[in-house]
Amino acid sequence: MGWLEEKLAKWKRNVDEYAGPRISDIILEGSEILADGTPEQRAEWSRTAMERLAELVPDPEVREKIMTDRACVFVEEFGEEPLLKLRRIFKEEDLDAVLETMGQDTYKYAKPYRDGNVVYETKNPSDPVAFEKAETPYEKQVAYCHCPLAKAARTPVPQPYCWCGGGWYKGIWEFITEKPVRVELLESMMKGDDRCTFAVHLPEVTI
């Protein structure tokens, strides 16, 4: 199963769990276009799927859970060892040592910083060279966004879509701390910001 099939299967499982199979079939209707469609067609499908999700799952907390759990997973892309290393540093030293280590590998982690028990994560551009050369907000959006199913949106994809990106950080920090965390979306290219930023709220007992 490829990336796209896994992503759709994960989304369907999440909607099935929280809203039921009938609703997931409606939300994912027409998803066959994602296989061979243009980036713009994929983004338009993602936008309309989010509109169906909002209509059929009106509870924003449930929608957030569905989208957060749909996220790509760090260990599936980079393996467990990088996070096991950070977990060891967290246990043997402290949170600041973890952040310092992350800052030495900006490809994987960008450069997070903290204020108290909140860690702020700002994504790096998906294509840094194209982002630097971009002359329009749309060109910047396409170069910055990491999601091949939304980055080419001409009409803004509803902001809750980006909870999926927050799930990436949720997975990282729950692995490191071995405790549940809450992720808040602060800035998103999809709502007109010039970057995507998340606040990861760690349990105070971890500080």
pLDDT digits (tens, 9 = 90+) for 129-140: 999 999 999 999
Residue 82 is part of which domain span? 3-206
- Relative to beta strand 197-201, strand 118-122 is antiparallel
The model's pTM is 0.93
- Residue the block writes with tokens 């490191």: 176
Task: Give residue-wise pLDDT tens across range 2-43.
Answer: 889 999 999 999 999 999 999 999 999 999 999 999 999 999
Distance CA 114, CA 179 (A): 17
CA-based nearest residue to 106, from 119, 87, 81, 125: 125
How many domains does the chain fold into? 1
CATH number at residue 65: 3.30.1380
User: To which H or E segment does residue 121 belong?
Assistant: strand 118-122
Q: What angle do CA 125, 197, 34 make, to 5 degrees?
A: 60
